[in-house]
Amino acid sequence: MVVRAGAGRGTIYRRWAGKDELILAAVACAGQDDAAAGLPDTGTLRTDLLAMLDPGWLGGGERRLRILAGVTAMMSRSPEAFAAVSRGIVEPSVDAYRQLIQRAVDRGEFPPTADVDTLAEVIPAMAAHRSLFLGQPVSLPFFTAVIDGVLLPALRQE
């Protein structure tokens, strides 16, 4: 962290009192991007969802799994951490899925009765479950299975 920041540890901790505060600041910054501006529009929900995946986060990620576990532990100790992670990571992710799904409903891919709000939580929830509780990396085959086997069939239900 210190090398990439181009600053010494003392400089970092003059601004943040400890690791938890530093992590909360980083998480808060993560949610400040306008995710809607970068959403793919390929013409179908399935290809939009696949295009939205960040290949850098797919595959083995033992370090990523440790980071997620640490953030989750911090959330259990602090209501501020819970709120920051929710605002910075969970809500923007669910909102992006909500926008993609709603756009697909609006263009007639799925019935207007589709439960967009609930289904927008499916992919983030399953990815979190897989990484945090099963300790397994998320992968393209995993996301494809969730999209094709869970999300799209649920959207087709009336």
The 10s digit of each residue's pLDDT in 6-23 is 677 777 767 777 766 776
Q: Given this model, what pLDDT does residue 65 score?
A: 64
Domain 19-156 indexed as CATH 2.40.50.140: no
What does the pLDDT look like over 21-43, one tens digit per residue?
776 666 666 555 555 568 899 99
- pLDDT tier at 100 (50, 70, 90 boundaries)? very high
- The more confident residue out of 92 and 144 is 144
What does the pLDDT look like over 63-94, one tens digit per residue?
666 666 777 777 778 787 778 777 777 888 89
Q: In the predicted model, what is the mean pLDDT of residues 153-158?
A: 88
Domains of the chain by residue range: 19-156
Average pLDDT, the chain: 80
Q: In the predicted model, what is the mean pLDDT of residues 114-140?
A: 89
Contacts 24+ apart (CB under 8 A), 93-96: 93/35, 93/124, 94/120, 94/121, 94/124, 95/35, 95/36, 95/120, 96/35, 96/36, 96/39, 96/52
Enter the pTM of the model: 0.75
Read out DSSP for 91-128? Answer: HHHHHHHHHHHHHHHHTTSS-TT--HHHHTTHHHHHHH
User: Does 106 have pLDDT greater than 90?
Assistant: yes
Q: In the predicted model, what is the mean pLDDT of residues 119-124?
A: 94
Q: In the predicted model, what is the mean pLDDT of residues 52-61?
A: 60
